[in-house]
A and B are shown apart, each in its own frame.
Chain A
Amino acid sequence: MISPDTTHPPHSLRLRSGNQMMAEGALQAGCTFFAGYPITPATGIFKTMIDLLPARGGVALSAPDEISAVAYCIGASMRGAKAMTATSGPGWALMTESVQYALMTETPLVVALVQRLGPSTGGATQGGQGDVLLAEYCTSGGYTIPILCPTNARECYELTILAFTWAELFRVPVIVLSDKETGMTIESVDVGSLPSITSQNRPSNFAFRELGGFRQNERKGTYYFDAIHEIPVFAPVGGPRKVTATGSAHDKQGRLQKNSPETLEVLLHLEQKVRWRLDDFAVVTADLQPAAGTLIISYGITARAARDAVSEARRMGERVSHLIVHSLFPIPVKKITQAAHNVDEVIVAEENMNGLYRSVIDRHLAGKRVRGVNKIGAMITPQEILEAIMS
Protein backbone atom coordinates (compact mmCIF):
# COMPACT_ATOMS: atom_id res chain seq x y z
CA MET A 1 0.00 0.00 0.00
CA ILE A 2 1.07 3.58 -0.53
CA SER A 3 3.06 4.99 2.33
CA PRO A 4 2.99 8.71 3.14
CA ASP A 5 4.49 10.76 0.34
CA THR A 6 8.20 11.08 0.35
CA THR A 7 8.49 12.72 -3.04
CA HIS A 8 6.57 15.75 -4.23
CA PRO A 9 4.81 15.34 -7.54
CA PRO A 10 3.98 18.47 -9.51
CA HIS A 11 1.26 20.85 -8.33
CA SER A 12 0.91 19.26 -4.90
CA LEU A 13 -0.87 16.24 -6.37
CA ARG A 14 -1.24 13.29 -4.03
CA LEU A 15 -2.81 9.87 -4.32
CA ARG A 16 -5.59 9.72 -1.77
CA SER A 17 -8.56 7.49 -1.03
CA GLY A 18 -11.94 8.93 -0.10
CA ASN A 19 -11.50 7.44 3.36
CA GLN A 20 -8.19 9.23 3.86
CA MET A 21 -9.68 12.49 2.67
CA MET A 22 -12.62 12.12 5.02
CA ALA A 23 -10.23 11.75 7.94
CA GLU A 24 -8.18 14.69 6.73
CA GLY A 25 -11.37 16.73 6.34
CA ALA A 26 -12.29 15.91 9.92
CA LEU A 27 -8.88 17.09 11.12
CA GLN A 28 -9.25 20.27 9.10
CA ALA A 29 -12.70 20.78 10.64
CA GLY A 30 -11.13 20.74 14.07
CA CYS A 31 -12.20 17.25 15.10
CA THR A 32 -10.47 16.50 18.40
CA PHE A 33 -12.04 13.16 19.25
CA PHE A 34 -12.43 9.98 17.23
CA ALA A 35 -13.52 6.56 18.37
CA GLY A 36 -14.18 3.68 16.03
CA TYR A 37 -14.22 -0.04 15.49
CA PRO A 38 -12.62 -1.29 12.29
CA ILE A 39 -14.97 -2.49 9.56
CA THR A 40 -14.48 -2.83 5.83
CA PRO A 41 -14.87 -0.55 3.88
CA ALA A 42 -14.63 2.22 6.53
CA THR A 43 -11.36 1.07 8.10
CA GLY A 44 -9.31 3.60 6.14
CA ILE A 45 -10.95 6.42 8.12
CA PHE A 46 -10.31 4.63 11.42
CA LYS A 47 -6.68 3.97 10.51
CA THR A 48 -5.98 7.50 9.30
CA MET A 49 -7.51 9.02 12.42
CA ILE A 50 -5.53 6.69 14.69
CA ASP A 51 -2.38 7.61 12.74
CA LEU A 52 -2.88 11.36 12.62
CA LEU A 53 -5.15 12.63 15.38
CA PRO A 54 -3.05 11.93 18.50
CA ALA A 55 -0.07 13.72 16.95
CA ARG A 56 -2.26 16.80 16.65
CA GLY A 57 -3.23 16.72 20.29
CA GLY A 58 -6.55 14.95 19.81
CA VAL A 59 -7.78 11.62 21.08
CA ALA A 60 -8.31 8.62 18.79
CA LEU A 61 -9.63 5.48 20.41
CA SER A 62 -10.07 1.95 19.20
CA ALA A 63 -13.34 0.98 20.89
CA PRO A 64 -14.34 -2.58 21.83
CA ASP A 65 -17.37 -2.37 19.53
CA GLU A 66 -19.48 0.09 17.56
CA ILE A 67 -21.89 0.80 20.41
CA SER A 68 -19.02 1.92 22.62
CA ALA A 69 -17.40 3.83 19.77
CA VAL A 70 -20.37 6.09 19.15
CA ALA A 71 -21.12 6.40 22.87
CA TYR A 72 -17.54 7.56 23.51
CA CYS A 73 -18.01 10.18 20.81
CA ILE A 74 -21.27 11.42 22.31
CA GLY A 75 -19.65 11.70 25.73
CA ALA A 76 -16.69 13.59 24.30
CA SER A 77 -18.99 15.92 22.41
CA MET A 78 -21.04 16.61 25.55
CA ARG A 79 -17.79 17.70 27.11
CA GLY A 80 -17.20 20.08 24.19
CA ALA A 81 -15.07 18.10 21.73
CA LYS A 82 -15.81 17.91 18.02
CA ALA A 83 -16.30 14.19 17.65
CA MET A 84 -16.58 11.69 14.82
CA THR A 85 -16.91 7.96 14.37
CA ALA A 86 -16.82 5.88 11.19
CA THR A 87 -18.51 2.62 10.32
CA SER A 88 -20.36 0.61 7.68
CA GLY A 89 -23.89 -0.84 7.56
CA PRO A 90 -23.53 -3.61 10.18
CA GLY A 91 -21.84 -1.22 12.63
CA TRP A 92 -24.39 1.46 11.89
CA ALA A 93 -27.15 -0.95 12.87
CA LEU A 94 -25.55 -1.14 16.33
CA MET A 95 -25.07 2.62 16.58
CA THR A 96 -28.61 3.69 15.87
CA GLU A 97 -29.81 3.60 19.48
CA SER A 98 -27.04 5.94 20.59
CA VAL A 99 -27.45 8.20 17.58
CA GLN A 100 -31.03 8.75 18.72
CA TYR A 101 -29.64 9.66 22.11
CA ALA A 102 -27.38 12.25 20.47
CA LEU A 103 -30.39 13.64 18.64
CA MET A 104 -32.49 13.76 21.80
CA THR A 105 -29.76 15.41 23.86
CA GLU A 106 -28.87 17.83 21.01
CA THR A 107 -25.30 16.60 20.98
CA PRO A 108 -23.24 17.44 17.87
CA LEU A 109 -21.88 14.29 16.27
CA VAL A 110 -20.51 13.29 12.87
CA VAL A 111 -20.87 9.70 11.68
CA ALA A 112 -19.05 8.60 8.54
CA LEU A 113 -21.11 5.75 7.12
CA VAL A 114 -19.30 3.96 4.31
CA GLN A 115 -21.90 1.74 2.69
CA ARG A 116 -21.32 -1.83 1.61
CA LEU A 117 -23.63 -4.45 0.19
CA GLY A 118 -26.27 -5.56 2.70
CA PRO A 119 -28.41 -6.82 4.30
CA SER A 120 -26.77 -8.08 7.50
CA THR A 121 -23.00 -8.53 7.13
CA GLY A 122 -23.74 -8.72 3.40
CA GLY A 123 -20.71 -8.25 1.17
CA ALA A 124 -17.88 -6.80 3.22
CA THR A 125 -15.86 -5.84 0.18
CA GLN A 126 -18.73 -5.05 -2.18
CA GLY A 127 -20.13 -1.59 -2.64
CA GLY A 128 -23.70 -0.43 -2.48
CA GLN A 129 -25.99 2.50 -1.85
CA GLY A 130 -28.48 0.55 0.19
CA ASP A 131 -28.23 2.38 3.52
CA VAL A 132 -29.79 5.64 2.38
CA LEU A 133 -33.06 5.19 4.22
CA LEU A 134 -31.58 3.06 7.01
CA ALA A 135 -29.39 6.06 7.79
CA GLU A 136 -32.11 8.66 7.53
CA TYR A 137 -34.92 6.85 9.27
CA CYS A 138 -32.98 5.40 12.17
CA THR A 139 -35.00 7.33 14.74
CA SER A 140 -38.32 6.50 16.22
CA GLY A 141 -40.41 9.39 15.01
CA GLY A 142 -38.55 9.82 11.73
CA TYR A 143 -36.63 12.94 12.74
CA THR A 144 -34.71 14.58 9.94
CA ILE A 145 -31.04 13.75 10.21
CA PRO A 146 -28.87 15.71 7.78
CA ILE A 147 -27.02 13.42 5.36
CA LEU A 148 -24.20 14.54 3.10
CA CYS A 149 -23.03 12.37 0.25
CA PRO A 150 -19.64 12.78 -1.48
CA THR A 151 -18.89 11.46 -4.96
CA ASN A 152 -15.08 11.55 -4.85
CA ALA A 153 -12.07 11.93 -2.58
CA ARG A 154 -12.03 15.70 -2.71
CA GLU A 155 -15.69 15.96 -1.77
CA CYS A 156 -15.07 13.54 1.09
CA TYR A 157 -12.82 16.25 2.50
CA GLU A 158 -15.12 19.19 1.80
CA LEU A 159 -18.37 17.59 2.91
CA THR A 160 -16.84 16.26 6.13
CA ILE A 161 -15.94 19.83 7.07
CA LEU A 162 -19.48 20.89 6.25
CA ALA A 163 -20.86 17.99 8.29
CA PHE A 164 -18.99 19.28 11.34
CA THR A 165 -20.32 22.78 10.76
CA TRP A 166 -23.90 21.51 10.60
CA ALA A 167 -23.47 19.20 13.57
CA GLU A 168 -21.98 21.97 15.65
CA LEU A 169 -24.22 24.87 14.62
CA PHE A 170 -27.47 22.97 14.82
CA ARG A 171 -26.49 20.51 17.55
CA VAL A 172 -27.53 17.44 15.61
CA PRO A 173 -25.98 14.18 14.51
CA VAL A 174 -24.91 14.49 10.86
CA ILE A 175 -24.08 11.56 8.61
CA VAL A 176 -21.54 11.61 5.81
CA LEU A 177 -22.80 8.80 3.62
CA SER A 178 -20.01 7.40 1.51
CA ASP A 179 -19.70 3.98 -0.08
CA LYS A 180 -17.04 1.36 -0.68
CA GLU A 181 -15.98 2.71 -4.06
CA THR A 182 -15.88 6.36 -2.99
CA GLY A 183 -14.06 5.43 0.20
CA MET A 184 -11.52 2.97 -1.17
CA THR A 185 -10.80 4.22 -4.67
CA ILE A 186 -7.53 6.08 -4.77
CA GLU A 187 -7.25 9.06 -7.05
CA SER A 188 -5.13 12.11 -7.64
CA VAL A 189 -6.09 15.00 -5.38
CA ASP A 190 -4.50 18.41 -5.60
CA VAL A 191 -4.06 18.93 -1.87
CA GLY A 192 -2.66 22.41 -2.44
CA SER A 193 -6.03 23.61 -3.69
CA LEU A 194 -8.18 22.27 -0.84
CA PRO A 195 -10.26 24.82 1.04
CA SER A 196 -8.52 25.99 4.17
CA ILE A 197 -11.75 26.68 6.06
CA THR A 198 -12.44 24.92 9.29
CA SER A 199 -15.86 24.03 10.68
CA GLN A 200 -17.89 26.49 12.70
CA ASN A 201 -18.44 26.02 16.39
CA ARG A 202 -21.54 25.19 18.36
CA PRO A 203 -23.29 28.13 20.03
CA SER A 204 -21.63 28.27 23.42
CA ASN A 205 -22.50 30.06 26.60
CA PHE A 206 -19.23 31.78 26.62
CA ALA A 207 -18.63 32.79 23.03
CA PHE A 208 -21.85 32.76 21.10
CA ARG A 209 -25.02 34.36 22.29
CA GLU A 210 -26.73 35.40 19.11
CA LEU A 211 -28.02 32.95 16.53
CA GLY A 212 -30.59 33.40 13.80
CA GLY A 213 -31.42 36.83 15.19
CA PHE A 214 -32.46 35.46 18.57
CA ARG A 215 -30.72 36.56 21.68
CA GLN A 216 -30.16 33.68 24.04
CA ASN A 217 -30.79 33.83 27.71
CA GLU A 218 -27.68 32.09 28.80
CA ARG A 219 -28.85 31.50 32.30
CA LYS A 220 -31.58 29.14 31.23
CA GLY A 221 -29.44 26.12 30.49
CA THR A 222 -28.22 24.00 27.66
CA TYR A 223 -31.63 22.91 26.33
CA TYR A 224 -33.46 26.20 26.66
CA PHE A 225 -35.06 27.92 23.65
CA ASP A 226 -37.72 30.56 23.14
CA ALA A 227 -38.72 30.17 19.49
CA ILE A 228 -39.19 26.53 18.52
CA HIS A 229 -36.49 26.54 15.83
CA GLU A 230 -33.88 28.26 17.96
CA ILE A 231 -30.65 26.42 18.70
CA PRO A 232 -30.06 26.27 22.44
CA VAL A 233 -26.76 27.57 23.73
CA PHE A 234 -24.39 24.73 24.55
CA ALA A 235 -23.00 24.16 28.01
CA PRO A 236 -20.47 21.36 28.45
CA VAL A 237 -20.87 18.55 30.92
CA GLY A 238 -18.30 19.16 33.64
CA GLY A 239 -18.34 22.90 32.97
CA PRO A 240 -19.34 25.66 35.35
CA ARG A 241 -23.06 25.06 34.99
CA LYS A 242 -25.12 22.03 35.89
CA VAL A 243 -26.11 19.98 32.83
CA THR A 244 -28.79 17.34 32.96
CA ALA A 245 -28.90 15.08 29.92
CA THR A 246 -31.44 12.38 29.29
CA GLY A 247 -32.60 10.36 26.35
CA SER A 248 -36.08 10.39 27.81
CA ALA A 249 -38.61 13.08 26.99
CA HIS A 250 -37.62 16.17 28.94
CA ASP A 251 -38.43 19.81 29.47
CA LYS A 252 -36.25 22.75 28.52
CA GLN A 253 -34.13 22.25 31.63
CA GLY A 254 -33.38 18.67 30.64
CA ARG A 255 -35.61 17.24 33.39
CA LEU A 256 -37.42 14.02 32.59
CA GLN A 257 -41.15 14.64 32.26
CA LYS A 258 -44.10 12.77 30.94
CA ASN A 259 -46.18 14.37 28.25
CA SER A 260 -46.20 17.94 29.50
CA PRO A 261 -46.81 20.59 26.85
CA GLU A 262 -43.23 21.76 27.31
CA THR A 263 -41.89 18.25 26.71
CA LEU A 264 -43.87 17.94 23.49
CA GLU A 265 -42.58 21.36 22.48
CA VAL A 266 -39.03 20.06 22.96
CA LEU A 267 -39.80 17.07 20.72
CA LEU A 268 -41.18 19.35 18.02
CA HIS A 269 -38.20 21.62 18.42
CA LEU A 270 -35.81 18.75 17.64
CA GLU A 271 -37.38 18.52 14.18
CA GLN A 272 -38.20 22.18 13.65
CA LYS A 273 -34.67 23.41 14.23
CA VAL A 274 -33.68 21.45 11.11
CA ARG A 275 -36.88 22.00 9.08
CA TRP A 276 -36.76 25.76 9.58
CA ARG A 277 -33.39 25.89 7.85
CA LEU A 278 -34.21 23.66 4.87
CA ASP A 279 -32.72 26.02 2.31
CA ASP A 280 -29.47 26.30 4.24
CA PHE A 281 -29.07 22.55 4.00
CA ALA A 282 -29.44 22.25 0.21
CA VAL A 283 -26.17 21.28 -1.46
CA VAL A 284 -26.36 20.11 -5.06
CA THR A 285 -24.37 20.28 -8.29
CA ALA A 286 -26.73 21.23 -11.09
CA ASP A 287 -25.65 20.75 -14.69
CA LEU A 288 -28.85 21.83 -16.42
CA GLN A 289 -29.45 22.12 -20.13
CA PRO A 290 -32.09 24.42 -21.57
CA ALA A 291 -35.00 22.54 -23.14
CA ALA A 292 -33.82 19.21 -21.73
CA GLY A 293 -36.47 16.51 -21.84
CA THR A 294 -34.79 14.29 -19.30
CA LEU A 295 -33.27 14.96 -15.90
CA ILE A 296 -30.84 12.49 -14.34
CA ILE A 297 -30.68 12.60 -10.56
CA SER A 298 -27.82 10.78 -8.90
CA TYR A 299 -25.64 10.86 -5.82
CA GLY A 300 -22.48 9.31 -4.42
CA ILE A 301 -20.40 7.03 -6.61
CA THR A 302 -23.21 6.61 -9.17
CA ALA A 303 -23.09 10.35 -9.91
CA ARG A 304 -19.70 9.79 -11.50
CA ALA A 305 -21.05 7.22 -13.93
CA ALA A 306 -24.04 9.50 -14.54
CA ARG A 307 -21.76 12.41 -15.40
CA ASP A 308 -20.02 10.32 -18.06
CA ALA A 309 -23.36 9.07 -19.39
CA VAL A 310 -24.73 12.61 -19.63
CA SER A 311 -21.73 13.90 -21.59
CA GLU A 312 -21.94 10.94 -23.93
CA ALA A 313 -25.69 11.45 -24.44
CA ARG A 314 -25.14 15.13 -25.21
CA ARG A 315 -22.42 14.21 -27.67
CA MET A 316 -25.05 12.08 -29.39
CA GLY A 317 -27.38 15.08 -29.57
CA GLU A 318 -29.68 14.35 -26.62
CA ARG A 319 -30.77 17.21 -24.40
CA VAL A 320 -30.37 16.05 -20.85
CA SER A 321 -29.87 17.70 -17.48
CA HIS A 322 -28.05 16.29 -14.48
CA LEU A 323 -28.53 16.99 -10.81
CA ILE A 324 -26.08 15.57 -8.28
CA VAL A 325 -27.55 15.68 -4.80
CA HIS A 326 -24.91 16.10 -2.10
CA SER A 327 -27.31 16.82 0.75
CA LEU A 328 -29.66 13.85 0.52
CA PHE A 329 -31.52 14.91 3.68
CA PRO A 330 -33.26 17.14 4.43
CA ILE A 331 -34.40 16.59 0.85
CA PRO A 332 -33.45 19.70 -1.16
CA VAL A 333 -36.98 19.94 -2.54
CA LYS A 334 -36.60 23.37 -4.14
CA LYS A 335 -33.43 22.43 -5.99
CA ILE A 336 -34.98 19.19 -7.20
CA THR A 337 -38.23 20.77 -8.40
CA GLN A 338 -36.33 23.62 -10.07
CA ALA A 339 -34.08 21.19 -11.92
CA ALA A 340 -37.08 19.08 -12.96
CA HIS A 341 -39.23 22.09 -13.88
CA ASN A 342 -39.38 21.68 -17.64
CA VAL A 343 -38.49 18.05 -18.16
CA ASP A 344 -40.94 15.26 -18.95
CA GLU A 345 -38.93 12.52 -17.42
CA VAL A 346 -36.70 12.02 -14.39
CA ILE A 347 -34.27 9.11 -14.10
CA VAL A 348 -32.84 8.40 -10.66
CA ALA A 349 -29.68 6.29 -10.79
CA GLU A 350 -28.61 4.58 -7.56
CA GLU A 351 -26.87 1.34 -6.59
CA ASN A 352 -29.67 -0.35 -4.71
CA MET A 353 -32.51 -2.70 -5.51
CA ASN A 354 -35.69 -0.68 -5.20
CA GLY A 355 -34.69 2.91 -5.81
CA LEU A 356 -34.50 4.09 -2.20
CA TYR A 357 -33.94 7.77 -2.83
CA ARG A 358 -36.32 7.72 -5.76
CA SER A 359 -39.03 6.49 -3.40
CA VAL A 360 -38.74 9.60 -1.23
CA ILE A 361 -38.31 12.27 -3.91
CA ASP A 362 -41.02 10.82 -6.14
CA ARG A 363 -43.72 12.78 -4.28
CA HIS A 364 -41.99 16.04 -5.22
CA LEU A 365 -42.03 15.17 -8.92
CA ALA A 366 -45.75 15.04 -9.58
CA GLY A 367 -46.61 15.01 -13.27
CA LYS A 368 -43.22 13.68 -14.35
CA ARG A 369 -42.43 10.21 -15.54
CA VAL A 370 -40.04 8.94 -12.89
CA ARG A 371 -37.96 5.81 -13.36
CA GLY A 372 -34.83 4.34 -11.91
CA VAL A 373 -31.58 2.79 -12.98
CA ASN A 374 -30.89 0.30 -10.21
CA LYS A 375 -28.49 -2.52 -9.58
CA ILE A 376 -26.98 -4.44 -6.68
CA GLY A 377 -23.65 -6.20 -6.31
CA ALA A 378 -21.73 -4.04 -8.77
CA MET A 379 -21.42 -0.41 -9.69
CA ILE A 380 -23.74 1.06 -12.25
CA THR A 381 -21.71 1.78 -15.39
CA PRO A 382 -21.97 4.90 -17.56
CA GLN A 383 -23.21 2.60 -20.35
CA GLU A 384 -26.19 1.42 -18.29
CA ILE A 385 -27.29 4.98 -17.54
CA LEU A 386 -26.76 5.96 -21.16
CA GLU A 387 -29.02 3.12 -22.29
CA ALA A 388 -31.72 4.39 -19.92
CA ILE A 389 -31.39 7.90 -21.31
CA MET A 390 -31.63 6.68 -24.90
CA SER A 391 -34.54 4.29 -24.33
Chain B
Amino acid sequence: MMRAHEIIIAGFGGQGVLSMGQLLAYGAMVEGKDVSWMPSYGPEMRGGTANCIVIISETRISSPIVSCFDSAIILNQPSLEKFEGRVKPGGLLVYEESAVIQPPTREDIEILAVPALQEAMKLNKRQVTNVVMLGAFIERRPLVSAEGLLKALKSVLPERHHHLLPLNRQAFQIGRELAQRKEATA
Protein backbone atom coordinates (compact mmCIF):
# COMPACT_ATOMS: atom_id res chain seq x y z
CA MET B 1 0.00 0.00 0.00
CA MET B 2 1.08 3.56 -0.64
CA ARG B 3 2.02 5.69 2.34
CA ALA B 4 -1.19 7.69 2.05
CA HIS B 5 -4.33 6.98 0.07
CA GLU B 6 -6.71 9.84 -0.55
CA ILE B 7 -10.32 9.11 -1.43
CA ILE B 8 -13.24 11.31 -2.38
CA ILE B 9 -16.74 9.88 -1.85
CA ALA B 10 -19.48 12.02 -3.36
CA GLY B 11 -23.19 11.96 -4.09
CA PHE B 12 -26.51 13.31 -2.85
CA GLY B 13 -27.35 13.71 0.82
CA GLY B 14 -29.10 10.57 2.03
CA GLN B 15 -27.16 8.12 -0.12
CA GLY B 16 -24.87 7.17 2.72
CA VAL B 17 -21.86 9.02 1.36
CA LEU B 18 -20.69 10.31 4.72
CA SER B 19 -21.31 7.03 6.58
CA MET B 20 -19.41 5.12 3.91
CA GLY B 21 -16.42 7.37 4.57
CA GLN B 22 -16.70 6.90 8.31
CA LEU B 23 -16.81 3.14 7.86
CA LEU B 24 -13.62 3.25 5.84
CA ALA B 25 -11.93 5.54 8.33
CA TYR B 26 -12.97 3.47 11.30
CA GLY B 27 -11.91 0.23 9.67
CA ALA B 28 -8.50 1.66 8.81
CA MET B 29 -8.00 3.13 12.27
CA VAL B 30 -8.71 -0.23 13.87
CA GLU B 31 -5.95 -1.64 11.68
CA GLY B 32 -3.52 0.93 13.05
CA LYS B 33 -3.54 3.51 10.24
CA ASP B 34 -3.76 7.25 10.73
CA VAL B 35 -7.05 8.45 9.27
CA SER B 36 -8.93 11.64 8.56
CA TRP B 37 -12.53 12.08 7.43
CA MET B 38 -13.55 15.53 6.28
CA PRO B 39 -17.20 16.11 5.43
CA SER B 40 -18.54 18.69 3.01
CA TYR B 41 -22.22 19.25 2.37
CA GLY B 42 -24.74 21.96 1.68
CA PRO B 43 -27.07 23.59 4.20
CA GLU B 44 -30.11 21.55 3.02
CA MET B 45 -31.56 18.90 5.33
CA ARG B 46 -31.81 16.47 2.40
CA GLY B 47 -31.30 16.31 -1.33
CA GLY B 48 -28.22 18.51 -1.46
CA THR B 49 -24.83 17.31 -2.57
CA ALA B 50 -22.55 15.74 -0.02
CA ASN B 51 -19.02 14.48 -0.09
CA CYS B 52 -16.24 13.49 2.20
CA ILE B 53 -12.52 13.16 1.82
CA VAL B 54 -11.01 10.18 3.56
CA ILE B 55 -7.27 9.86 3.98
CA ILE B 56 -5.74 6.60 5.12
CA SER B 57 -2.06 6.79 5.86
CA GLU B 58 0.84 4.81 7.25
CA THR B 59 2.28 8.05 8.60
CA ARG B 60 0.82 11.06 10.36
CA ILE B 61 -1.66 13.04 8.27
CA SER B 62 -1.31 16.80 8.22
CA SER B 63 -3.63 18.45 5.71
CA PRO B 64 -7.09 16.83 5.47
CA ILE B 65 -7.55 18.45 2.07
CA VAL B 66 -5.70 17.52 -1.08
CA SER B 67 -5.93 18.71 -4.66
CA CYS B 68 -6.12 15.29 -6.33
CA PHE B 69 -7.35 11.90 -5.25
CA ASP B 70 -6.08 8.34 -5.54
CA SER B 71 -9.67 7.08 -5.68
CA ALA B 72 -13.16 8.44 -6.20
CA ILE B 73 -16.43 6.75 -5.26
CA ILE B 74 -19.20 8.56 -7.11
CA LEU B 75 -22.94 8.29 -6.53
CA ASN B 76 -24.41 10.96 -8.80
CA GLN B 77 -23.87 12.80 -12.07
CA PRO B 78 -22.89 16.22 -10.66
CA SER B 79 -20.23 14.60 -8.49
CA LEU B 80 -18.84 12.71 -11.45
CA GLU B 81 -18.53 15.95 -13.39
CA LYS B 82 -16.89 17.64 -10.45
CA PHE B 83 -14.39 14.97 -9.49
CA GLU B 84 -13.56 12.89 -12.59
CA GLY B 85 -10.83 15.34 -13.54
CA ARG B 86 -9.33 15.28 -10.07
CA VAL B 87 -8.46 11.59 -9.93
CA LYS B 88 -4.71 11.08 -10.21
CA PRO B 89 -3.55 9.33 -13.40
CA GLY B 90 -3.57 5.61 -12.69
CA GLY B 91 -6.14 6.15 -9.95
CA LEU B 92 -9.52 4.47 -9.54
CA LEU B 93 -13.03 5.81 -10.18
CA VAL B 94 -15.93 3.68 -9.01
CA TYR B 95 -19.44 4.93 -9.84
CA GLU B 96 -23.01 3.85 -9.25
CA GLU B 97 -24.24 2.88 -12.68
CA SER B 98 -27.89 3.95 -12.54
CA ALA B 99 -27.09 7.38 -11.07
CA VAL B 100 -24.85 8.40 -13.92
CA ILE B 101 -26.17 9.26 -17.39
CA GLN B 102 -22.94 10.47 -18.97
CA PRO B 103 -20.30 7.89 -18.01
CA PRO B 104 -16.72 8.96 -17.32
CA THR B 105 -14.47 9.29 -20.34
CA ARG B 106 -10.93 9.35 -18.98
CA GLU B 107 -8.64 6.67 -20.27
CA ASP B 108 -5.71 7.13 -17.93
CA ILE B 109 -7.59 5.89 -14.87
CA GLU B 110 -9.23 2.66 -13.85
CA ILE B 111 -13.02 2.91 -14.10
CA LEU B 112 -15.54 0.60 -12.49
CA ALA B 113 -19.30 0.89 -12.97
CA VAL B 114 -21.28 -0.83 -10.22
CA PRO B 115 -25.05 -1.50 -10.44
CA ALA B 116 -25.24 -1.05 -6.68
CA LEU B 117 -28.75 0.34 -6.43
CA GLN B 118 -30.13 -2.50 -8.53
CA GLU B 119 -28.42 -5.07 -6.29
CA ALA B 120 -29.63 -3.32 -3.16
CA MET B 121 -33.18 -3.35 -4.49
CA LYS B 122 -32.89 -7.10 -4.98
CA LEU B 123 -32.20 -7.26 -1.24
CA ASN B 124 -35.29 -5.09 -0.68
CA LYS B 125 -33.16 -2.46 1.03
CA ARG B 126 -32.01 0.43 -1.11
CA GLN B 127 -30.20 1.85 1.94
CA VAL B 128 -27.41 -0.69 1.50
CA THR B 129 -26.46 0.72 -1.92
CA ASN B 130 -23.48 2.40 -0.30
CA VAL B 131 -22.26 -0.84 1.24
CA VAL B 132 -22.41 -2.56 -2.16
CA MET B 133 -20.28 0.31 -3.51
CA LEU B 134 -17.86 -0.05 -0.65
CA GLY B 135 -17.52 -3.79 -1.28
CA ALA B 136 -16.68 -3.12 -4.92
CA PHE B 137 -14.17 -0.44 -3.98
CA ILE B 138 -12.41 -2.59 -1.37
CA GLU B 139 -12.14 -5.44 -3.86
CA ARG B 140 -10.11 -3.13 -6.13
CA ARG B 141 -8.25 -1.27 -3.39
CA PRO B 142 -7.85 -3.46 -0.33
CA LEU B 143 -6.89 -0.58 1.97
CA VAL B 144 -8.81 -2.20 4.79
CA SER B 145 -9.47 -5.90 5.25
CA ALA B 146 -13.05 -7.02 4.68
CA GLU B 147 -13.04 -8.31 8.24
CA GLY B 148 -11.92 -4.93 9.56
CA LEU B 149 -14.69 -3.18 7.68
CA LEU B 150 -17.36 -5.55 8.88
CA LYS B 151 -16.11 -5.02 12.42
CA ALA B 152 -16.30 -1.29 11.84
CA LEU B 153 -19.85 -1.69 10.62
CA LYS B 154 -20.81 -3.21 13.94
CA SER B 155 -19.29 -0.28 15.81
CA VAL B 156 -20.72 2.37 13.53
CA LEU B 157 -24.28 1.04 13.35
CA PRO B 158 -26.36 1.97 16.39
CA GLU B 159 -27.40 -1.12 18.33
CA ARG B 160 -31.05 -0.78 17.29
CA HIS B 161 -29.92 -1.46 13.72
CA HIS B 162 -27.76 -4.46 14.55
CA HIS B 163 -30.37 -6.81 13.07
CA LEU B 164 -29.34 -5.31 9.73
CA LEU B 165 -25.74 -6.50 10.07
CA PRO B 166 -26.23 -9.76 8.12
CA LEU B 167 -27.91 -7.83 5.30
CA ASN B 168 -25.01 -5.37 5.20
CA ARG B 169 -22.52 -8.22 5.13
CA GLN B 170 -24.40 -9.68 2.21
CA ALA B 171 -24.44 -6.33 0.40
CA PHE B 172 -20.71 -5.93 0.96
CA GLN B 173 -20.06 -9.40 -0.42
CA ILE B 174 -22.20 -8.68 -3.50
CA GLY B 175 -20.16 -5.55 -4.13
CA ARG B 176 -16.93 -7.51 -3.99
CA GLU B 177 -18.26 -10.14 -6.37
CA LEU B 178 -19.48 -7.51 -8.84
CA ALA B 179 -15.98 -6.05 -8.93
CA GLN B 180 -14.44 -9.49 -9.37
CA ARG B 181 -16.80 -10.29 -12.23
CA LYS B 182 -16.04 -6.98 -13.98
CA GLU B 183 -12.38 -7.81 -13.66
CA ALA B 184 -12.98 -11.14 -15.34
CA THR B 185 -14.80 -9.54 -18.27
CA ALA B 186 -12.52 -6.51 -18.56
Contacts and interface: CB of A to CB of B under 8 A. Distances in A.
Interface residues on A, range: 20 to 34
Given A9-B29, A181-B38, A3 B156 contact: yes
A383 B34 CA distance: 21
Contacts of A382: 62-63, 66-67
Contact of A187 (B18, B37, B39): B37
B155 interface: yes
Interface string B8-38: 0000000000110010011001101111111
Contacts of A181: 38, 64-65
Interface of A: 1-3, 5-7, 9-11, 13, 15, 40, 123-125, 181, 184-188, 301, 304-305, 307-308, 379, 381-383
B42 interface: yes
Contacts, number: 89
Report whether over half of chain A's contact residues are helix, strand or loop; otherwise say mixed.
mixed
B65 A381 contact: yes
Contacts of B32: 9-11, 13
B158 A125 contact: no
Contact of A304 (B22, B63, B155): B63
A188 B29 contact: yes
A310 B59 CA distance: 17
Report whether over half of chain B's contact residues are helix, strand or loop; otherwise say mixed.
mixed
Interface of B: 18-19, 22, 25-26, 29-30, 32-43, 61-67, 151, 154-159
Contacts of B43: 40, 123-125
A125 B63 contact: no
B25 A125 contact: no
A186 B35 CA distance: 8
A5 B155 contact: yes
Nearest to A379: B65
Contacts of B159: 3
A125 B41 contact: yes
B8 to A, nearest CB: 13
B35 A305 contact: no
Nearest to A302: B63
Contacts of B65: 181, 305, 379, 381
A187 B36 contact: yes
19 contacts: A5-B155, A6-B155, A7-B154, A11-B32, A13-B30, A15-B37, A123-B43, A125-B40, A181-B38, A181-B64, A185-B36, A185-B64, A186-B22, A304-B64, A305-B63, A379-B65, A381-B67, A382-B66, A382-B67
